[in-house]
């Protein structure tokens, strides 16, 4: 039982003839709950939600330049802790600080969901950069100017950079089987050497990688700028960050180096964040500066770490449920989170909860999803907020030790 803080009333000093009986009368004692006490105690654990929008799959919301960020901002105002990945939180030249959001790279998010890694929140990371040797001098200077701007104007702890010893030679394409973008770098060894050198020299806690990407075909770029099709850069960006995180277990995110496109008078708002600068670095550096550190299973997890069992809900597109993280969350034996599938956010994939036999709550849009999470956090069955969604409670048949099956409440009468 919680102890109440006592605020005891004492009569004014001038009342010196108050009898001892009246002085200690119950009416002179006022008992109240101390607000400072209530604020210091936790009566329910924090509510944690994971928001996933796979990259390079043409998601209607989150498939472009930061167009899932408004959803993340709204969701973060409802939950205590929001875990999301760069594709959700990045917006090229734009970013938005969300104090209770954790910026977790996709490979790390999958390992977290599988219970293999834990997340340890930090106050600040020392961030370093790796630049592709294939970046032209003028384009490199533009990127370095952006880095200095984030240091001076945002106060970000960017401590140094290095350049790979050979061009990374990025290749990108669309997977004909799935329809999503993917790719590779021909010199992954050069990238890994650069990250190792940066760690040894500058003692960085997180790494931003900037690789020179081949320029898009005009037709493909026009589609993307009009808010249709898929992001052709995103798939191989994930390949690059996955490689670093897998090998070094530190936060990493990627920003492509490309030449600015020719001015267009007609650009979809969803893609416009990529039209306003020379680099996509600001959001990456801001995210990495406070990204949680990754702790691998086998180490002792401290009390302030977040593990997969702490997650209460997972929200993702209706047809993008086959990712390692989504499958791991949906198959948990204990503390399985509520899986919420958003029908309005369609992708090029066809991995629905029904096709994968995943128990998920389907909602029409993110408006509904956030309402469901608000109810779930309050300990309320979301169905009780809908018309005619609560039916008579069903019985569960079982066989007791005497061998006679009991199939209804009537049997107990």
pLDDT digits (tens, 9 = 90+) for 302-357: 778 999 999 999 999 999 999 999 999 999 999 999 999 999 999 999 999 999 99
With 80 as the cut, is the pLDDT of residue 412 above it? no
Cα 104 to Cα 85, 111, 291, 293, 355: the distances in Å are 5, 11, 7, 9, 28
At 218 the pLDDT is: 60
What confidence category does residue 224 fall into, taking pLDDT thresholds of 50, 70 and 90? confident
How far is the C-alpha of 211 from the C-alpha of 309, rounded, in Å? 36
The stretch 179-194 carries a mean pLDDT of: 96
Question: Which has the closest alpha carbon to 171: 184, 158, 190, 155?
Answer: 184
d(CA 314, CA 83): 9
Average pLDDT over residues 107-126: 97
Please give the C-alpha separations between residue 19 and each of 22, 23, 28, 30, 259, in angstroms, as whole numbers. Answer: 5, 6, 13, 19, 88
For the cut 60, the answer to whether the pLDDT of residue 277 exceeds it is yes
Bridge partners (DSSP) of residue 209 are 130, 254
Ramachandran assignment for 155, one of left (phi > 0), alpha (psi -120 to 50 degrees), beta (any other): left
Quick one: tokens of 279?
Answer: 């680099």
Query: Could you tell me if 185 and 191 are in contact, meaning their C-beta atoms sit under 8 angstroms apart?
Result: yes
Q: State the average pLDDT for the chain.
A: 86
More confident residue, 8 or 119: 119
The pLDDT confidence band at residue 272, using thresholds 50, 70 and 90, is confident
Of 264, 157, 252, the closest CA to residue 207 belongs to: 252
The distance of Cα 153 from the centroid of its chain, to the nearest Å, equals: 25
Contacts of 46 (CB under 8 A, 6+ apart): 80, 81, 310
Q: What is the per-residue pLDDT for 274? A: 79
If one counts every other C-beta atom within 10 angstroms of the C-beta of residue 231, the result is 24
Kindly give the residue spans of alpha helices, DSSP state H, lying in 77-187: 86-89, 106-113, 137-153
Average pLDDT over residues 93-117: 95
Strand 48-51 to 313-317 pairing: parallel
Q: Give the pLDDT of residue 399.
A: 61
Residue of 353, 351, 349, 350 whose CA lies nearest to 339: 353
- Nearest 5°: the CA angle 47, 50, 51 is 130
pLDDT score of 91? 92
């Amino acid at each position: 039982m919680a102890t109440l803080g006592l605020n005891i009333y004492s009569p004014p000093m001038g009342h010196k003839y108050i009898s001892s009986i009246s002085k200690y009368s119950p009416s002179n004692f006022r008992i109240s709950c101390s607000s400072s006490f209530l604020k210091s105690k936790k009566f329910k654990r924090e509510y944690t939600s994971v928001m996933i929008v796979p990259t390079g799959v043409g998601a209607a919301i989150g498939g472009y330049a930061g167009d899932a960020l408004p959803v993340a901002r709204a969701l973060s105002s409802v939950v205590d802790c929001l875990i999301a990945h760069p594709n959700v939180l990045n917006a090229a030249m734009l970013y938005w600080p969300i104090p209770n959001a954790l910026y977790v790279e996709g490979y790390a998010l999958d390992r977290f969901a599988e219970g293999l890694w834990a997340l340890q929140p930090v106050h600040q990371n020392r961030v370093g950069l790796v630049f592709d040797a294939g970046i032209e001098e003028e384009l490199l200077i533009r990127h370095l100017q952006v880095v200095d701007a984030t240091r001076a104007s945002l106060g970000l702890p960017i401590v140094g950079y290095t350049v790979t010893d050979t061009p990374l030679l990025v290749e990108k394409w669309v997977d004909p089987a799935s329809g999503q973008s993917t790719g590779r770098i021909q010199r992954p060894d050069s990238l890994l050497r650069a990250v190792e050198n940066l760690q040894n020299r500058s003692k960085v806690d997180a790494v931003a990688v900037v690789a020179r990407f081949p320029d898009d075909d005009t037709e493909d770029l026009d589609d993307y700028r009009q808010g249709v099709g898929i992001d052709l850069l995103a798939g191989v960006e994930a390949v690059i960050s996955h490689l670093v995180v897998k090998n070094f277990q530190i936060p990493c995110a990627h920003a492509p180096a490309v030449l600015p496109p020719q001015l267009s008078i007609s650009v979809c708002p969803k893609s416009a964040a990529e039209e306003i600068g020379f680099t996509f670095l600001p959001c990456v550096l801001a995210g990495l500066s406070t990204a949680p550190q990754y702790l691998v299973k086998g180490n002792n997890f401290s009390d302030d770490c977040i593990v997969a069992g702490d997650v209460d809900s997972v929200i993702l597109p209706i047809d993008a449920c086959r990712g390692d993280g989504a499958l791991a969350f949906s198959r948990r034996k204990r503390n399985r989170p509520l899986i919420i599938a958003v029908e309005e956010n369609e992708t090029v994939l066809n991995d629905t909860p029904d096709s994968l036999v995943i128990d998920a709550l389907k909602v029409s849009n993110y408006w509904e999803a956030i309402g469901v999470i608000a109810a779930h956090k309050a300990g309320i069955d979301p169905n009780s907020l809908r018309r005619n969604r609560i039916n008579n409670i069903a019985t569960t048949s079982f066989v007791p030790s005497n061998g006679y099956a009991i199939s209804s409440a009537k049997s107990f009468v």
